[in-house]
Amino acid sequence: MIIIFDLDHTLMNSEKFKNCLPGIFKLTKKRFLCEIDIYFKGKKDLYSPLKHAVLRYKNGKINKKSYVKTKNKLFYLAKSTNSYVYSDADRLLKKLRQKNNYLLLLSHGNCQWQRLKIKGLHIKGYFDRIIITDKKKTAALKFLKNKKEDILIVNDSSLENKEMLDFLGRGRAILIKSTHSYEIKHNYKLHSFKQATKVIMNNF
């Protein structure tokens, strides 16, 4: 079986991870979110804390010394991704590997930031392939189009799940509960990662 895992909000507690960012930028959460709207969402750009720091420096909101400090703290945060991976992830991935499943980590976001987050992951060794994309995930799945194996998608985005299943023309999906789970109307049962782990280990 081919099992496709998302990273953010699926294998790791991304809300807890992101909650570190306002403090690193020395901003209130309200101001931090406001700047994301201005610098990224308003321009339909994928968020990157590193780019955020650059933009704050270029716009005169911080001096060079503060910029360097912020950047170093962001690199340190990216290296600490293991601290935010769900405790059941290692056990689940290890068992799936033992059953000879093909494991794919498919992560969407700013490629530079996602690469930094994934670089230090202790669970990355379980995956047969890791793909990072800033485009639609379906574009990264063309190599699976003609494969005959069953497919399982474990992801927190209801929209992405639908798009991937429609593109592949087959498969099943387990939807992990997050703010992205409600992007479209669906009939999926929502799971915490712990609940999803139990379902997967008992059925796949």
Q: Could you tell me the residue ranges of all domains in the chain?
A: 2-12+86-203, 15-81
* Angle ∠(123,174,46) on CA atoms, nearest 5: 65
pLDDT attached to residue 49: 98
Contact by Cβ (8 Å): 147, 114: no
pLDDT tens-digit series, residues 22-38: 999 999 999 999 999 99
pLDDT attached to residue 43: 83
CA distance 140 to 80: 27
What single-letter amino acid sits at 79? K
pTM of the model: 0.94
CATH number attached to the domain at 2-12+86-203: 3.40.50.1000
Say yes or no to pLDDT of 201 above 90: yes
Residue 204: pLDDT band (50, 70, 90) is confident
Say yes or no to pLDDT of 42 above 90: no
CA distance 204 to 138: 23
